[in-house]
């Protein structure tokens, strides 16, 4: 990850579609429940030792649902076949939330 922006974390998470089934999410500091904005720098966020940043799923709109479906098509067509139970469980959940 080359960016020091919160957007860099979002991009990193979206770049691994077969591991991260959530495509529309906010990044939130767990302890304070503070939503991180995409163009804040990681220095501005003010994370402290052992702070946890969570991916919190958001409701889908037209644009985000199209992105989600395109991501699903990519996983089904271009990603390596899924053989182990953990990956199948993630894929099943991915299909369920549509």
Q: Which of 6-10, 32-36, 65-69 has the lowest mean pLDDT?
A: 65-69
pLDDT > 70 fraction of the chain, expressed in percent and rounded: 70
Distances in whole angstroms, Cα of residue 54 to Cα of each of 5, 33, 74: 16, 9, 25
Task: Give the pLDDT confidence of 13-41 residue by residue, as tens digits.
Answer: 877 765 667 778 889 999 999 999 989 98
Can you read off the two tokens belonging to residue 92? 């099943």
């Amino acid at each position: 990850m080359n960016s020091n922006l919160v957007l860099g974390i979002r991009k990193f998470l979206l770049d691994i579609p077969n591991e991260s089934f959530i495509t529309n999410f906010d990044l939130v500091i767990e302890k304070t429940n503070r939503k991180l904005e995409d163009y804040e720098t990681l220095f501005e966020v003010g994370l402290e030792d052992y702070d946890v940043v969570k991916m919190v799923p958001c409701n889908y709109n037209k644009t985000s649902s199209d992105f989600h479906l395109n991501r699903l098509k990519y996983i089904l067509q271009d990603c390596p076949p899924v053989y182990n139970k953990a990956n199948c469980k993630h894929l099943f959940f991915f299909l369920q939330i549509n």
